[in-house]
Structure 1
Amino acid sequence: MRNEIDKLVKEKDYFSAEDDLRRIKMVQELLAERFPFENLDVLLKVEDPITPKFIVEKMLLKGRGGLCYELNALQHLLLKELGFDVYLATATVSTETGWATDRTHVMNLLWKEEKLYLIDSGFGSNLPLQPVELDGPPVHSPAGNFRLQTCETEKGSIVLQSENDKGWNTRYAFFPEKVGWEDLNRIKTEIHNSPKSSFNRELLIARMLPEATLSVNEERLQLKGIEGEDQRIMFTTDDEMLRCIKIRFSESIYQAAAHYVRMKKKGRENA
């Protein structure tokens, strides 16, 4: 694993940064560039347990992305290997219709000089791309402005918020409590099997670009620029979707998507 980490951090000239928070920011940027948010293992019913070995093989060696419990598990392994005393925690996501399933989002937390920082590489294309200090100043990324606030809710005492034209909107809430790898497998089981899960219904791949966010589902490609520009390309066939994925994502993600399309087609034929 160390060799793979060395290759990654050399790409970002990681050791040129003297400040720890700047180094963590570089790791987050690298993860956003290389490992998209994608739910293909859910759709392909890959039930392997989440372990360090599984994460290294799937992501570092095969070049796949994943959901929060995989992306932030990889982030956890990288930051631990680089000497940061981060720990895993879980949050409950806030949606337009209320709270999502309890504690099914994973992220990393870090205490540094008596300040708490959120470090999240697994929230789709809604990433701050840098550590967010509790009750500190807002941070900015291509996805917008974010802040971390002390706020008592039924789902936690801390909330991550993003800014929109109506003000600050809560994205998720959590208690700053450490969880183990077994919790990642609890979340994976929930995401794979629950009828409430939004990730076991159709394909979703999302990533951050330097000046925009990009997402693909089975209907369209969407690009959202930092200045509010919105570009949408609709798909009329699965082949159009696959061509889009092949152009914009890794070969391993394309192959997984093609496998999913074949499974879906076979299911329709057998129905």
Structure 2
Amino acid sequence: MTTELNQLFRKRIGISETAKITFDMLKYILEKTAQTIPFENLSIITGNTCQITKENLIKKILLRNEGGLCYELNPILYFFLLENGFYVSLVRGVVYNHPAQKWSSTGRTHAAILLSHNEQTYLMDTGFGVNLPLIPVPLSGQIAKSANGEFRIIPVVSDAGDYILQVKLSNKDKDWRIGYIFDTWQPVKDISELNEIQKIISEHPDSSFNKQPLITKLTRNGYITLTDTSFTQYMNGNVGKEVVDNRTYKKFAKQYFSLSI
């Protein structure tokens, strides 16, 4: 389908304008998206947020070449998949707070994608920081493997949702850990619902995204993360970290993430 979003999304992640997007191509699409569009909270930190609409997401992510958080990154991918003939919906979930050993007190503030294909349902996510599956993960419980690690989904009975994503990142996790719980029974009916997520993430005292700037994205061999105090490179299991000041923070944002701060 030739639409502005379809053309711009393909251009942003570097794929052909004419290629037919098949199910088998989704792994490649997820990899390219994760390596191109940063996961970042700069609009929240600067107080420069806008309403979550299709048009505003196009402007922010595809025209200004910025990144975003889950409620921005997954909807733009959702619209792209929808326009390329896939059966998709957006769902909300609750991220697990590992230090506190409990579900996040910010509630259902994670947004992800469900995709139906050949009578099977899959979770897709390009908005979970460096914990991205990079491959559709079946709700059947089958382990999905990608360059970023192993991922599986288990059914649960809980007020917070009916499935849990478990993660085992390459060169990092020895055991399975909880990513988030999500609810397939209450899909997002209108994208405007995501404004509630943005409001909570922006204002909640326990939100991890309204304290300091965070920019991260995956690379072919690991990931890179930038804050206003440090720059971290994780490559092939090796971690390098350096202190940054305001000048190098802005320099690295441009150099590594193509973001002008």
Do they fold alike, i.e. is TM over 0.5? Answer: yes
Report what 1:233 is aligned to: 242
- CA shift at 1:15, angstroms? 6.2
1:14-34 superposed Cα distances (whole Å, 9 cap, x missing partner): 86677x322222322232122
- Over the aligned positions, Cα root-mean-square deviation in angstroms equals 2.0
For 1:102, the equivalent position in structure 2 comes to 107
* 1:209 partner amino acid: T
Q: For residue 3 of structure 1, report the CA deviation from its aligned partner.
A: 4.2
| Residue in structure 1 matching 2:167, options 148, 162, 167 | 162
Determine the C-alpha separation between the residues in 1 that align with 2:144 and 2:20. 19
Provide the C-alpha distance between the structure 1 equivalents of 2:241 and 2:216, rounded to a whole number of angstroms: 14
TM-score of the aligned structures, taking structure 1 as reference length: 0.85
Q: Which runs of structure 2 are paired with 1:1-271 in the superposition (5 Å)?
A: 2-3=3-4, 5-6=6-7, 8-9=9-10, 11-13=14-16, 20-96=22-98, 97=100, 98-100=102-104, 101-163=106-168, 165-176=173-184, 177-179=186-188, 180-225=190-235, 227-235=236-244, 237-250=245-258, 253-254=259-260, 257=261
**Aligned positions, number:** 250
User: Which amino acid counterpart does residue 12 of structure 1 have in structure 2?
Assistant: I
CA contact (8 A) 1:107 1:118 kept: yes
Cα–Cα, structure 1 residues 4 and 181, in superposed 2: closer, same or farther, change >3 Å? closer
- Distance in 1 (CA, whole Å) between partners of 2:241 and 2:223 is 12
Q: Which amino acid aligns with 2:224?
A: L
Q: Which has the larger radius of gyration?
A: 1
CA separation in 1, counterparts of 2:180 and 2:96? 5
Structure with higher helix content: 1
Q: Deviations over 1:7-61 (max 9, x none)?
A: 543733486677x322222322232122100101001112321000000111111
> Structure 1 regions of 5+ residues with no counterpart?
258-271
Q: Which runs of 5+ in 2 are unaligned?
A: none
- Aligned residues of 2:90 and 2:187 also touching (Cα < 8 A): yes
Native 8 Å contact 1:121 1:127 kept in 2: yes
Mark the CA change 1:153 to 1:228 in structure 2 (over 3 Å): closer, same or farther. Answer: farther
Using the aligned pairs only, state the percent identity. Answer: 32
